[in-house]
Structure 1
Amino acid sequence: MKLSENEKYYRDLAEKYENLSRILEKQLQEEIIKNKEKDQILIQHSRLAAMGEMVANISHQWRQPLNNLTLLLQDVREALEFGEIDDHYIDQFTREGMVIIKNMSQTINDFRRFYKPNKEKSAFSVGDSIVEALSIFSISLKKHGIQVEFKFGGQQIAYGYPNEYGLVVLNILSNARDAFVANTINNRKLIIKLSESEKFVSAEFIDNAGGIEPSLLQKIFDPYFTTKPQGTGFGLYMTKMIVENMSGMVSVENTSNGAKFSLSVPKAATLIEKEFTATLANK
């Protein structure tokens, strides 16, 4: 059966459309792969930067125990000179030395656990994750005279990756510290508030470090964007990626005398029920 001119025209047009669709689909898949590879590179860079921060914090945490070990070892020479070394002295020396070494070892374990990525989502306490991040970063905050006000009651339980959430908090704390130092602010204060709605647990980090240039607010979470001379531009970008990967949201705005970062992650009951429903629907 011979096709009419119109039928032939529309058939050719359909073939061209299908070919174009296949080409566009292939290009789309290639771009998706490229973006995933780029994100992996950025994640790796961010983890390297975080490891540098971790090493710096460990060195701060170890300074006092190392000093105590030095004093303990110096005392051995004096005890030998005065004839004080006996079984009791050796037992006490060993006991005190082991306590110091155990505490130093525990510091490493705490940091390793904190920076180890979670492979599966789980329910976790947002307040506990923030407390853990604060304990790790406390030396740096105290060194720069930053007073932290954080009180929370109850257990605001979220669902996601607890260690990654802790890393997000660490990024926010590091950003606030750098803002205080850069702007030479006196009476430095960081207030952390928790709240929850029907679906989300939210944490607000409010500082009095002078705020962010309004024209930069829309760029603050972009990759490679930084206002710091030695900055990498990965920290806040990774913050956004991690929170969104937990189906959450992150935002920043200026207050009267500083900046306010807000992190919202799904409540455990809400997201577990949603994922369970989706699993049943796919079966």
Structure 2
Amino acid sequence: MNKQENRDDAYQELTEKYEAMIQMLENRIQDEITKNRQKDQMLIQQAKLAAMGEIIASIGHQWRQPLNHLSLLIQDIRDAQRFEEMNDQYMDQFTNESMILIDFLAGTIQDFRKFYRPSKEKCAFSLAESIEAALSIFSFFLKKHEIRVYFEYREQQKAYGYSNEFSQVVLNLLTNIRDTFVKKEIKDRKLFITINETSDHLVAEIMDNAGGVEPEPLLKMFDASNCSWSEDSKLGLYITKVILENMNGSITAETFGEGTRYRLSIPKITS
């Protein structure tokens, strides 16, 4: 075997070693990516669970009036029997009103279950409907804290990602904005929501009049280093960033006018 053959063999052996090292590193990187994705999903679910207590309170409030109405309908049956008013017309009205109330109660639970069910695959969804879902779930707190919402509804615009998770993003922001309104004791509380678009993204803008945020906290608002597991609102803001990045989107915040403007960007369905 001559020197050239020795060099070729050495080169081949070295090449194989490098290829094996590269493959090993690629496998490790893929494993870490998988672990990080699993961690992100766990964090998203934890953020949902952190908000569950408030959401249950909201559902309880939404149920109170329909349950009272249903109770009155049932109690009225005895009086209707006593005064011989239980004819076909009465029974039809009783049945129709009762079923409307029962359907409402069942629909509320279905919305709640749907919201807390993780999305498995990306798909096309209405950005406006996803925002409406979050507003509906949060409606009790909007009324309780006298926050007026102005939403420019544009149902036809379709985004590509996870509908439930985007609703979670909006809910996280609504929770943070509500807390800011209360903390700063803002009197005339307003929230403006619009949907715009670029060539390849939809952009939901959520603006409040809660006085804005100082520059330094603004820069760290969505960072992991800015939150702890005991601070649900800050954790929610970090999760907001994680969710949008998992959908190839992004979030920014800036002081704007009398408050803060949040811009949620997410890929759109293009024709």
Scaled by the length of structure 2, the TM-score of the pair is: 0.80
Indicate the residue corresponding to 1:188 in structure 2. Answer: 189
For the 8 Å contact 1:45–1:234, the answer to whether it is kept is no
Question: Identity percentage over the alignment?
Answer: 50
- 1:241 paired to 2:242: yes
- 1:49 paired to 2:50: yes
Q: What letter corresponds to residue 206 of structure 1 in structure 2?
A: M
Larger deviation, residues 234-243 vs 217-226: 217-226
Indicate the residue corresponding to 1:120 in structure 2. Answer: 121
For the 8 Å contact 1:224–1:232, the answer to whether it is kept is no
Q: What letter corresponds to residue 68 of structure 1 in structure 2?
A: H
Structure 2, gaps ≥5 residues long: none
* Structure 1 residues 39 and 90, CA gap change in structure 2 (3 angstroms): same
CA deviations 1:224-270 (Å, max 9, x no partner) are 74499852633122211221111111111112321111011112017
* Structure 1 residues 15 and 136, CA gap change in structure 2 (3 angstroms): closer
Indicate the residue corresponding to 2:86 in structure 1. Answer: 87
* Structure 1 residues 76 and 87, CA gap change in structure 2 (3 angstroms): closer
Structure 1, gaps ≥5 residues long: 271-283
* Structure 1 residues 24 and 125, CA gap change in structure 2 (3 angstroms): closer
For the 8 Å contact 1:206–1:258, the answer to whether it is kept is yes
Indicate the residue corresponding to 1:147 in structure 2. Answer: 148
CA deviations 1:141-164 (Å, max 9, x no partner) are 111100111124572222222222
How many residues are aligned here? Answer: 266
For the 8 Å contact 2:50–2:232, the answer to whether it is kept is no
- Other structure's SS at 1:132 match: helix
Root-mean-square deviation (Å)? 3.4
* Structure 1 residues 162 and 26, CA gap change in structure 2 (3 angstroms): closer
Larger deviation, residues 207-216 vs 28-37: 28-37
For the 8 Å contact 2:249–2:266, the answer to whether it is kept is yes
**Cα distance between partner residues in 1 of 2:154 and 2:259:** 26
Indicate the residue corresponding to 2:214 in structure 1. Answer: 213
**Cα distance between partner residues in 2 of 1:169 and 1:244:** 15
**Cα distance between partner residues in 2 of 1:97 and 1:2:** 96
Scaled by the length of structure 1, the TM-score of the pair is: 0.77
Larger deviation, residues 222-231 vs 190-199: 222-231
